Each structure stands twice: as C-alpha cells, then as structure tokens.
Structure 1
Amino acid sequence: MSNPQPNVVLGLGNTMHGDDGIGIYVIERLQADILPFADVYVTEEMGLSLLDFLSGYERAVIVDSVKTEKGYEGQVHRFSLRDFAALPYCGCHQVGLPEMALLAKEMGIPFPQTVHILGIEIEDPYRVANTLSPSLRRKLPDLVHQVRWHILKLLQS
C-alpha cells in the first residue's frame, strides 16, 4: 500500500491512565499545524495493531509517554527504535516497535525507513485517572510548542 503523503505522525497513549495519555493530548492540539506535512493519527491501540497506522509511509514520528531514570516530568526525549531496549518504561504502546519493524520487513509489509519517537517524560505511568496530573497539565502549552518544533524539524529534514 502506498500513501500519497510520505510522512505520518502518531500520538499514542492511554487517557484512562492519566499522564500516559500525554501523546494523545499533545497531538490533538497540533493536528492543524502538522497536517500540511504529514497524515496525523491518535490512538490508544498498541502492539501489532500500530502497523496499520505506520504501513506504507516513508517516515514516522511517534509521540508517547516515557519514564526514564534521570529525566524530569515534561522533558521531551528523542529516540530511535534502537534506543528502546535501555528504557525502563516507554509507554505500553511502544512495546514491540523494533520487533514490529523486523516482522514487517520479513512479511514484505512497507514500514517507514525512518522512525523517530518523541517521548514525553511522566512521573507516574500507572496512575488511574481520566485527566492529566495538575503539574503536567500546567506544562501542556509548552509541551505542545516543543513537540511542534521537533516534529516540523524532523519532517522537513
């Protein structure tokens, strides 16, 4: 399958797990800015079902939550698929992305040649709530600005 647009931006998260939904909240606010440069989707799906969103594109940017050992809440990290093995928590949506790329290649499914992941640091990935924590909610406008800058830079390079 070939897409007319070579780029895709995918916002991931679980909005019932509070701050884990940050990728969705940020991309929902950026859709209009990104649409001229990429197809844009938000989803709470995970695992192999993400292949449906990525297949046929040349370049992908995925935005999701992460929890690293030395990061601070609201920090925006940039990762490649190879970087994930070292992360203690990288949103359940990212589980298997490197394996998914290998599987797609072996099955002849078109998978993006370049995948960038923007991980937004969160404090508690296991908090059950249908809203962002007050501290991350205050940082949301700045996060939208930072992620917009990263995405446009990545897609125009």
Structure 2
Amino acid sequence: MTVARTPRILVLGIGNILWGDEGFGVRAVESFHRRFVTPENVTILDGGTQGLYLVQFVEEADRLLVFDAIDYGLEPGALKVVRDHEVPKFTGSKKMSLHQTGFQEVLSAADLLGRYPEKLALIGCQPLDLEDWGGPLTDPVRAAIAPALDAAASVLAEWGVALQARVAEESFAPLLSNDIDHRRYEGRA
C-alpha cells in the first residue's frame, strides 16, 4: 500500500519594488503572508529579482503559485490567472524587467532537471506605470492586491490547501529578515 505524499507548494512573489508597479508580485506575496497562516507543506517566498537563484525553490515544489506584474494588454489593475503550460508564455511574453526573463529560465531549468512542478498558476496584474523609479504601486495596481489574494486562496483551495486568516493582533515573522516595510517605503506610515 502506497501512502500519498502531501504536495509541497510554493507561493512566490516576483518583481522589483523599486520600479512602481513592477513590485506588484512582491507586495502581493507580502500581503498574502500578512493575511494567511498556511500549513507546513506551503512555503511563502519573496523572490524579488533573484532570477535563476529561484531554481532550487521551484525544483522542490510540486505546485507553484506566482504573483507578478504582467503586460496582458488589459486595463491597469486587471488580474488574469493563467495555469500550467500557459504560464511560461506569459512570463516571457513581453520583457518588462530582468527578473521576468530570468523566471522563464527558472521554469526551463527546472524542466531540464526533470523537477518541474506538476501544477502551476500565475496571478498576473496589468501594470500602469513601470517607469517610476523609487515610486509606489499605482492606485489601480494596489487595489488589485486584495482580489489577487482571493484568487490565490481559490487556487490553493483547489489544490487542497486550507488557509487560516491571521488574527489581527497576531505577531509573525516577516518574509525576509531585512524586509522593506511598504507603508514606510511608500510614505504611508
């Protein structure tokens, strides 16, 4: 009798918080971490602009959920969820930053190594402004974070993950020991 192994799931945010809406993926995964407690088989990771350094994390994942700013040609702030074999098409569809090409390479490297996730989901947000060096997320992209978290919760529920909402006064460790608090960074403290 074979015992089914609990799938390892990676929830990943990628992007550059220093380029306006390019920071959507990082800010979304930070918000996900603040909002939800996840089971032990779920890892939450701020991937920033690490590119190929993310291969080791993707290789370990049976299922991968990614937040990112993606130019779908939609209205700013619009969300689109793509899955499985469609994900690489969008991570390389239009180069918006160095991390995006790097992430397509991460998926290719994991595939070449024979350790490609069995399920993928990309929650992409249409950016408005990618030229605002040092600027915050624009209003439509910031407003898309809550619906993106709801979309992530739906995908994870399909994958059998039961999320728990954090209690408001609950303390928890940041994703990174040197997190740049977005409220202070964006001057909204």
- Which of the numbers 108, 119, 128 marks the counterpart of 1:123? 128
Deviation at 1:61, TM superposition (A): 0.5
Query: Structure 2 vs 1, CA of residues 10 and 72 (structure 1 numbering), >3 Å: closer, same or farther?
Result: same
CA shift for structure 1 position 83: 3.1
TM-score, normalisation: structure 1: 0.78
**Conserved in 2, the CA contact under 8 Å of 1:76 and 1:147?**
yes
Given candidates 58, 74, 77, the residue that maps to 1:74 is: 77
After the TM superposition, which of the residue ranges 54-63 and 77-86 deviates more from structure 2? Answer: 77-86
Higher relative contact order (CA 8 A, sep 6+): 1
Q: Distance in 2 between matches of 1:24 and 1:13?
A: 6
Separation in 1 of the partners of 2:145 and 2:62? 24
Counterpart of 1:13 in structure 2: which amino acid? Answer: G
Matching residue's letter, 1:51: V
Partner of 1:23: 25
In the TM superposition, what is the alpha-carbon distance from 1:84 to its structure 2 partner?
2.1
- Per the alignment, in what secondary structure is the counterpart of residue 95 of structure 1? helix
- The one-letter amino acid of 1:74's match is G
Give the structure with higher Rg (CA). 2
Most deviating of 15-24 and 120-129: 120-129
Q: Which residue of 2 aligns with 1:52?
A: 56
Structure 1 range deviating more: 57-66 or 88-97:
88-97
Structure 1 gap ranges (5+): none
Give identity over the alignment, percent.
Answer: 19
Return the offset for 1:28.
Answer: 0.8
Distance 1:128 1:151, change over 3 A: same
The worse-fitting range, judged by mean Cα deviation, of 97-106 and 27-36 is 97-106
Aligned-partner Cα distance in 1 for 2:79–2:12? 16
Query: Which residue in 2 is equivalent to 1:145?
Result: 146
Query: 1:62 — aligned with what?
Result: 66
